[in-house]
Amino acid sequence: MRMSREKHLRLSDEEFNTLQKRAAAACLSDSAYIRRLIMDKPPVIIDDRFYAAMEIIREFSDKIDEVAMKTDNSVDMIAVMTEARKWRAFQNAIEKGFLRPKRGDG
């Protein structure tokens, strides 16, 4: 989309700080954040619940690895470690989708 129009805004200090915090939380510039709001495409804002959920998955994967190391059977160990690897890949995919916006999302 070609940006051919310009609009200047006056904001209070509180509004300005809120805009900057929310745009940064959405991994967008101030302008991109405002454009998404105008087009009814609310940006995804990551909060502490997201990081807590990611930590739960990380801990779960670590526990699976611990169980794998305690098994006497190498076939079981490989199977359990493969499952832990899948959980880590799942976590990475979620983080990539939320924390690294695609080009053109702004």
The pLDDT mean for the chain works out to 84
| Structure token pair of residue 87 | 């959980």
pLDDT at residue 102 greater than cutoff 70 = no
- Nearest CA to 20 out of 33, 37, 10 is that of 33
**Own/partner pairs for 82-85, CB < 8 Å, 24+ apart?**
none
Are the C-beta atoms of 83 and 64 separated by less than 8 Å?
A: yes
pLDDT digit string, tens, across residues 29-46: 899 889 888 888 777 777
pLDDT digit string, tens, across residues 43-69: 777 778 888 888 999 999 888 888 888
Q: How far apart are CA 35 and CA 43, in angstroms?
A: 10
Where exactly are the structural domains of the chain? 10-45, 46-106
